[in-house]
Amino acid sequence: MSLPSTPHTPKRRLPAAALAVAATQQWFDPLLSLIVSGRTLLPLSKGQMLYSQGQKADAVFFLETGKVKLTVVSKAGKEALLGIVPPGGFCGEGCLAGQALRVGSAEAVSPGTCIGVQKSALVKALHEQHPLSEAFLAQLLTRNILFEEDICDQLFNHSEKRLARALLKLARFGLEAPDPQGQLISPNISQESLAEMVGTTRSRVNFFMNKFRRLGLIDYDGEVRVHAELLTDIVLSD
| Domain formed by 16-150, architecture | Sandwich (2.60)
36-46 pLDDT, tens digit per residue, is 899 999 999 99
Average pLDDT over the chain, rounded to whole? 84
Helix (H, G, I), strand (E, B) or coil at 15: coil
The Cα 110–Cα 128 span in angstroms is 34
The Cα 145–Cα 151 span in angstroms is 10
Q: Judge contact between 55 and 44, C-beta under 8 A.
A: no
Most confident of the ranges 128-137, 158-167, 172-181: 128-137
Split at pLDDT 50, 70, 90, the class of 2 is low
Find the mean pLDDT for residues 174-180.
Answer: 64
Q: What is the pLDDT of residue 3?
A: 66
Closest to 188 measured CA to CA, from 42, 84, 45: 84
Q: Judge contact between 61 and 50, C-beta under 8 A.
A: yes
Closest to 212 measured CA to CA, from 222, 194, 198, 225: 225
Q: What is the pLDDT of residue 47?
A: 94
Where is pLDDT greater, at 7 or 218? 218
Q: What is the pLDDT of residue 238?
A: 56
Helix (H, G, I), strand (E, B) or coil at 222: coil
Residue 194, burial from CB neighbour count under 10 angstroms (0-12, 13-18, 19+): buried
Split at pLDDT 50, 70, 90, the class of 12 is very low
Q: What is the pLDDT of residue 35?
A: 94
Where is pLDDT greater, at 31 or 155? 31
Find the mean pLDDT for residues 10-35.
Answer: 58
Whether 23 shows a pLDDT value over 80: the answer reads: no
127-157 pLDDT, tens digit per residue, is 999 999 999 999 999 888 888 888 887 778 8
Least confident of 31-35, 76-80, 107-111: 76-80
Q: What is the pLDDT of residue 104?
A: 96
CATH of domain 157-236: 1.10.10.10
**Which of 200-205's residues contact partners 24+ apart within 8 Å by CB, and which partners?**
200/159, 200/162, 200/163, 204/159, 205/163
Domain coordinates in residue numbering, the chain = 16-150, 157-236
Split at pLDDT 50, 70, 90, the class of 62 is very high
Split at pLDDT 50, 70, 90, the class of 18 is very low
Helix (H, G, I), strand (E, B) or coil at 67: coil
The Cα 78–Cα 73 span in angstroms is 5
Q: Judge contact between 237 and 162, C-beta under 8 A.
A: no
Where is pLDDT greater, at 108 or 147? 108
